[in-house]
């Protein structure tokens, strides 16, 4: 049996022929397994969706309760049989409810990482390595230049700036699903217990995280109050809003952006970011290579992102690898 008989790339996404299902399909299909709630992976309109409860709740929040014909919730480690193929989900450490899809058939195991990271994140379960014949990895930050610093350092930078400029506000751009809640949790872990102001676009997902037990501390809408009330405050908003008219309501805002791409100075400059915070929900170069070395699959497949360097690394390390070059997945972390 060739591995491609079990999972193969197709225009709609990774397809499992014997199970007749797709993983993170980019167009509506009969049967989908969805790794996590980011919009490029979780789309509406499938007849049936298997995902974690958290991911299904996120999809329901974004697309409305009728986002799919039928939903099949699965906890981490629970197995489901789809037309004779065994599917289970393992934590991916990316955002709340994010999962790797573990697909078993005829004695072969293939694992689709989805988006993942290896670092501890107070808002989601830690990535769990699963032994397999083929590990299908993302490579968003698959270049040796990408080495994400410790998240505590980046949060300390933010708090230092807040202390240094008490008359200014700090406006932190963070993607609505995952990054925003992680920034808030990390601030709490660093001892920041004041009210954090949030853009309206984050409110529903913040409430959803809270409902799954992720404590965010005191939050308030960023719309209430006069300009002067926001002096010394931290406001969290989707990245696009930080460049918007909306931002003018705050006193002399220090515009921050929490993203792995902030490693690239030109990106920060172009985006008018005064305080770049290198905080990523994707594996950096060390995490990608460490994971492949740890799992030691028979073959390493790369879905999307910076494939070339990881392919070269694999060859140098005697690891069989191929690039799938799947289309439809964002290089930007998450979505706007
Ligand atoms: Zn993605
Ligand atoms: Zn994602």
pLDDT in tens, 89-138: 999 999 999 999 999 999 999 999 999 999 999 999 999 999 999 999 99
Residue 115 C-alpha to ligand 2 middle, in angstroms? Answer: 5
Quote the pLDDT of residue 333: 60
Residues within 5 A (CB) of ion ligand 1: 115, 329
Q: What's the CA-to-centroid distance between 257 and ligand 1, angstroms? A: 18
Ligand whose nearest atom lies closest to the CA of 334: 2
Residue 331 has pLDDT above 80, yes or no: no
- Return the ligand number nearest the Cα of 305: 1
Q: How far is the CA of 167 from the centre of ligand 2 (A)?
A: 35
pLDDT-derived band of residue 199, with 50, 70 and 90 as boundaries? very high
pTM (predicted TM-score): 0.96
pLDDT band at residue 10 using 50, 70 and 90 as cut-offs:
very high
CA of 329 to the centre of ligand 1 (A): 5
Largest CA distance in the chain: 68
115 CB-side CA count, 13 A: 27
Closest-approaching ligand to the CA atom of 326? 1
With bands split at pLDDT 50, 70 and 90, how would you rate the model's confidence at 334? low
Other beta carbons less than 10 A from residue 129's beta carbon: 14
What's the gap in Å between 191 CA and the centre of ligand 1?
31
User: Which pLDDT does position 330 carry in this prediction?
Assistant: 78
């Amino acid at each position: 049996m060739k591995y491609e008989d079990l999972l193969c790339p197709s225009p709609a996404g990774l397809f499992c022929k014997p199970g007749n299902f797709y993983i993170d399909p980019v167009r509506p299909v009969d049967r989908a397994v969805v790794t996590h709630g980011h919009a490029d992976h979780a789309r509406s309109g499938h007849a049936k969706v298997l995902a974690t409860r958290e991911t299904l709740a996120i999809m329901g929040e974004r697309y409305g309760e009728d986002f799919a014909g039928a939903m099949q919730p699965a906890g981490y480690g629970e197995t489901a049989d789809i037309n004779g193929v065994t599917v289970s989900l393992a934590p991916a450490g990316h955002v709340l409810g994010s999962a790797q899809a573990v697909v078993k058939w005829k004695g072969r195991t293939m694992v689709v990482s989805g988006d993942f990271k290896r670092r501890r994140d107070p808002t989601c379960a830690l990535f769990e390595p699963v032994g397999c014949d083929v590990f299908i990895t993302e490579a968003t930050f698959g270049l040796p230049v990408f080495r994400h610093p410790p998240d505590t350092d980046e949060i300390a930078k933010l708090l230092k700036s807040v202390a240094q400029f008490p008359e200014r506000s700090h406006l932190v751009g963070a993607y609505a699903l995952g990054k925003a809640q992680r920034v808030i949790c990390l601030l709490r872990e660093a001892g920041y217990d004041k009210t954090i102001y949030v853009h309206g676009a984050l409110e529903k997902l913040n409430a959803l995280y809270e409902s799954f037990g992720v404590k965010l501390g005191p939050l308030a809408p960023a719309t209430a109050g006069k300009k002067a009330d926001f002096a010394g405050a931290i406001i969290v908003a989707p990245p696009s809003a930080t460049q918007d008219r909306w931002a003018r309501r705050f006193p002399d805002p220090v515009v921050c952006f929490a993203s792995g791409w902030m490693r690239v100075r030109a990106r920060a400059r172009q985006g008018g970011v005064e305080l770049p915070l290198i905080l990523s929900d994707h594996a950096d170069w060390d995490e990608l290579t460490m994971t492949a070395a740890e799992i030691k699959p028979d073959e390493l497949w790369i879905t999307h992102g910076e494939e070339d360097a990881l392919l070269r690394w694999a060859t140098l390390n005697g690891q069989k690898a191929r690039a799938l070059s799947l289309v439809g997945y964002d290089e930007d972390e998450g979505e706007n």
